[in-house]
Structure 1
Amino acid sequence: MSGLSIKQRVTLFYASVMLLFILLVMTVLYVTLDIQLTHVSHQVLERSVKDAFDDIDMPGDWLEIPNDFDFFINDVTLLIYGQEGTKVIGHAPQDFPEGIALRSDTHQRFTSERESWQVYDLYTEYPNETGLWVRGVYSRSNSKQTLRNVLLIMLFALPVLVAIALVAGYLVTKRAFAPVSQIQKTAEQIIKNKDLSRRIGLRGNKRDEIYSLATTYDQLLDRIETAFEQEKQFTSDVSHELRTPVSVVISQAEYALSQNDPEIMRKSLGSVLRQSEHMSLLIAQLLDLSRTGHALQSMKYERFNLAELCDMVVDEHQENANNKNIQFIKKLDHRIEINADQTQIMRALINLISNSISYGKENGFIMVDLHSTENRIILSITDDGVGIAPEHLEHIFNRFYQADEARTKGRLSNTGLGLTMVKQIIEAHGGEITVQSTLAVGSTFTISLPKSSEQES
């Protein structure tokens, strides 16, 4: 059995079950037929014996029997016995055993060397106080022959039925496992051609377990393909981001080495230092982004007051805001609590408020608004800074994406990774983040989170 395929094992199991079922049905039919034949023989015996009493009479010491009286009727042999059990008239069938006791209104079964017999006796007492026995003897040879014929038919039919069961089981199993074969072939094609875009695309009953398996497999392929493409894009983006500063460092170092003017060398080294700091920051934020991704896979949910967290983050950034004379405006509903990973939510808030300060204008403002609807918690951070051009809005959360130079000029901290991390954190909590912005007017980042979470602390 271990060397057989699943389809073969299922087919054999199906055929075995069908074989047992067929044997059970045949056994029931055989036993039922035997019982029915026995019942019919009882009825024939009783009717024949009772009809005999209707034809004979015993007015005195003699027995009156009609001339046309038939001692063999309906395959029943009739024997007449006196009151003491002595046979008066009639011939017992050949091989019928002698000396069988008379029992009134009772069916008896006897077996000789060659035959099986059914016997029925009936006693009647006449007005002259003389009694008479009539015995009916029925040979079961016809019944036994019928049973033998039925058994032979069953034995001949059994292999045919088993073969039909095997074929039917194979066809049903083959049809049932066809989707599995499709899944296997698709997987083999993906491995052979290294094509993650292929899908099973199974059509069928949506309640079928194999259909659900195929759908889950397609969803898994979607995630694998997305992750693979993101990894390729990430590698390409990192290479692109590092290529420019590395090229600048090399060119400036070579230029400085070719010059004897200390001022030129100082400027070149300053450029090398700035690009090195930029690369260091980029690597640090890449590491931070990677750690965030791992942390989001095992978040620690706890219930906390979101307004108090906003207060704490604002207080931590107050000094930086004061350097640009930026005023914080807080509209916080202190009744709002949320079940979430407090550390990750804090990181998202720190990033958004830091960006608002970095891109905010002198003597401007930053408004932090926290309120709730029936099912959602809404947190928005608004500034009156440089804003974002419309063509950049749909890409602002993409990894390494940076808006126009006017927005990022002179800002070493901008690597295009911060908002990507914020989006990851919010979406990991079942929320979403959107942005509305107008150039030279300001930007509003809005976070929407569910009030309740499937992850309870």
Structure 2
Amino acid sequence: MSRLHRTLRPLHTIRVRLALTTSAWLFAISGLILLGLYLALQHSIDARPLDPVTVGKFVQKSDGTLKYKTGETFQAADLESVQQAVNQSTLDLLRNYSLIALAVISLISLLVGWFVAGRMLRPIDAITSTANRLRATDLSQRINASGPDDELRNLADTLDNLLDRLDTAFRAERALVADVSHELRNPVAVIQANVEAVLADERATPAERADALAIVSRQTARMSRLLDDLLATARRRSGSFADERVDVHDFVNDIVGDHQLLARERSLELTGHCSPGPMVYADPESLARALTNLLSNALRLAPEGSTITVAAGSVGGWAWIAVRDEGPGIAEADQQRVFERFRRVDTPDSPTAHRGSGLGLTIARQIVESHEGRLYLYSVLSVGSTFVIWLPDRADAARGVRSGRPPDEDPLGARGGSPNRSSST
């Protein structure tokens, strides 16, 4: 049975079905046309078989009289009967030629249908061949369909665009795995070295053990921050958001209150200035993660005794949340790079004991953009940095006052230069 199925399998292809369907329809249409012509002629002309009469044969004598020749006869018919017989012969000839024409049309239509179907389905063959050549480690193959701009060409172009996005996504995933492996390798190596050289050594002094424990604690904290950021990235990509109305005033005040203790530990003044009224639709946990990442960077980089300002408000239908520090600032050439994964911009004044995972700003940007927002950076070296989250203010949505993109100005006051956008608008 399986052998028979393999034998008949070529007959089940789309090309065969298209050719047979085209031929069958053309045969049916041609047959109906010829049948209509035949019936129309049959009803418009008087046609019937010849019905001759047997007549005896006569000869003329010399005196002019006719003499019947015994035993000799011939067939005779009047002129009307002959005309009817001619019409009948013509109808019979038309019928026979029509049947032959139908047979020829069926054969020609089958061949033409096979050729046309092959031409039409050529992009599908290219799609199949490309799909067969694809591998998980190589998504560089493309269909690159040519020909008329029809539905199959659009399908091929759509699949090429899909492959481009998949290739970009897979490259990003491989880069992320490589970056994470690189980031985890160093703290693991430091922990292993301290455990083997100090903590596992019975002759190590208490001071050496204390130093080793402090180093291990810092490295484990660093790995913990990295894993938290990776979990946040995975959650964002899974689309597991639960959007709800968020009062920006209360939301920002809660985040500022949660970080007051950390600010006092570093002798920093953390102040909040929030205007009541702005309302956004967002996943509170994800949005809190984005704002916490910005605030954590400010707490880590700001010099002792300086002020960190967290403010919120609304401009032109856009709600904004700004985090300003008086840290070392970021050079204009490096401002876009800080939003890339595992990119760290080290400055002479930045403390190296509290380095981040390199994912904080990346995750903040991704969360903001997933909520139809934008993340802008304003920074001047030796002055400080201001990160501004812009989100659609749903409180102004009914009035239709929101512009197509957020304002370019720093809502806390310009520090010079134009904003560095984390993404194009």
Confirm whether residue 9 of structure 1 aligns to residue 10 of structure 2. no
- Give the distance between the partners of 2:202 and 2:334, measured in 1 at CA: 42
Structure 1 pair 204/426, CA: closer, same or farther in 2 (3 Å)? Answer: farther
- Give the distance between the partners of 1:298 and 1:232, measured in 2 at CA: 23
For each residue in 1:31-86, what CA deviation from the matched residue of structure 2 results, as whole angstroms up to 9, or x when unmatched?
A: 12223324xx8xxxxxxxxxxxxxxxxxxxxxxxxxxxxxxxxx9xxxxxxxxxxx
Match of 1:228 in 2: 170
* Cα distance, 1:168 vs structure 2: 2.0
Match of 1:308 in 2: 250
* Cα distance, 1:291 vs structure 2: 3.1
Pick from 34, 53, 58 the counterpart of residue 94 of structure 1.
53
- Give the distance between the partners of 1:217 and 1:358, measured in 2 at CA: 46
Match of 1:189 in 2: 133
Structure 1 pair 154/183, CA: closer, same or farther in 2 (3 Å)? Answer: same
- Give the distance between the partners of 1:27 and 1:298, measured in 2 at CA: 66
Structure 1 pair 390/407, CA: closer, same or farther in 2 (3 Å)? Answer: farther
Instruction: Report the residue type matching 2:127 in the other structure.
Output: I
% identical equivalent positions: 31
The question of whether the paired residues in 1 share the 8 Å contact of 2:322 and 2:387 is answered with yes
- Classify the secondary structure of the residue corresponding to 1:448: strand
The question of whether the paired residues in 2 share the 8 Å contact of 1:369 and 1:381 is answered with no
* Cα distance, 1:19 vs structure 2: 1.1
* Cα distance, 1:386 vs structure 2: 2.3
* Cα distance, 1:301 vs structure 2: 2.7
* Cα distance, 1:378 vs structure 2: 4.2
The question of whether the paired residues in 1 share the 8 Å contact of 2:326 and 2:383 is answered with yes
Structure 1 pair 172/447, CA: closer, same or farther in 2 (3 Å)? Answer: farther
Structure 1 pair 185/149, CA: closer, same or farther in 2 (3 Å)? Answer: same
Instruction: Report the residue type matching 1:7 in the other structure.
Output: R
Confirm whether residue 385 of structure 1 aligns to residue 344 of structure 2. no
- Give the distance between the partners of 2:154 and 2:102, measured in 1 at CA: 39
Match of 2:117 in 1: 173
Equivalenced residue count is 358
The question of whether the paired residues in 1 share the 8 Å contact of 2:321 and 2:390 is answered with yes
Stretch deviating more after TM superposition (334-343 or 234-243):
334-343
Aligned ranges 1:68-83 → 2 under 5 Å:
none
Confirm whether residue 371 of structure 1 aligns to residue 314 of structure 2. yes
Stretch deviating more after TM superposition (252-261 or 175-184):
252-261
- Classify the secondary structure of the residue corresponding to 1:140: helix
- Give the distance between the partners of 1:309 and 1:344, measured in 2 at CA: 12
TM-score, normalisation: structure 2: 0.74
* Cα distance, 1:379 vs structure 2: 3.8
The question of whether the paired residues in 1 share the 8 Å contact of 2:338 and 2:361 is answered with yes
Aligned ranges 1:327-346 → 2 under 5 Å:
327-332=270-275, 334-346=276-288
* Cα distance, 1:413 vs structure 2: 6.0
Match of 1:108 in 2: none
- Give the distance between the partners of 1:16 and 1:451, measured in 2 at CA: 63
TM-score, normalisation: structure 1: 0.69
Match of 2:376 in 1: 434
- Give the distance between the partners of 2:52 and 2:204, measured in 1 at CA: 144
Aligned Cα root-mean-square deviation (Å): 3.2
The question of whether the paired residues in 2 share the 8 Å contact of 1:366 and 1:384 is answered with no
- Classify the secondary structure of the residue corresponding to 2:45: helix
Pick from 34, 37, 40 the counterpart of residue 32 of structure 1.
40
- Give the distance between the partners of 1:407 and 1:174, measured in 2 at CA: 69
Pick from 402, 407, 417 the counterpart of residue 344 of structure 2.
402
Instruction: Report the residue type matching 1:142 in the other structure.
Output: V
- Classify the secondary structure of the residue corresponding to 2:339: coil
- Give the distance between the partners of 2:310 and 2:210, measured in 1 at CA: 43
Match of 1:83 in 2: none
Instruction: Report the residue type matching 2:223 in the other structure.
Output: M
* Cα distance, 1:140 vs structure 2: 2.6
- Give the distance between the partners of 1:409 and 1:247, measured in 2 at CA: 22
Instruction: Report the residue type matching 1:94 in the other structure.
Output: V
- Give the distance between the partners of 2:220 and 2:285, measured in 1 at CA: 30
Match of 1:163 in 2: 107
- Give the distance between the partners of 1:137 and 1:158, measured in 2 at CA: 32
- Classify the secondary structure of the residue corresponding to 2:337: coil
Structure 1 pair 258/321, CA: closer, same or farther in 2 (3 Å)? Answer: closer
Match of 1:421 in 2: 363
Match of 1:23 in 2: 31
- Give the distance between the partners of 1:299 and 1:8, measured in 2 at CA: 49
Structure 1 pair 19/451, CA: closer, same or farther in 2 (3 Å)? Answer: farther
Instruction: Report the residue type matching 2:89 in the other structure.
Output: Q
Aligned ranges 1:246-395 → 2 under 5 Å:
246-256=188-198, 260=203, 262=205, 263-294=207-238, 297-323=239-265, 324-332=267-275, 334-361=276-303, 362-373=305-316, 376-395=318-337
* Cα distance, 1:147 vs structure 2: 0.9
For each residue in 1:336-381, what CA deviation from the matched residue of structure 2 results, as whole angstroms up to 9, or x when unmatched?
A: 333333332222122222322332332323142432335x544433
- Give the distance between the partners of 1:359 and 1:309, measured in 2 at CA: 24
Structure 1 pair 411/373, CA: closer, same or farther in 2 (3 Å)? Answer: farther
For each residue in 1:129-176, what CA deviation from the matched residue of structure 2 results, as whole angstroms up to 9, or x when unmatched?
A: xxxxxxx87863222111111111111111211122112212221121
Structure 1 pair 293/440, CA: closer, same or farther in 2 (3 Å)? Answer: same
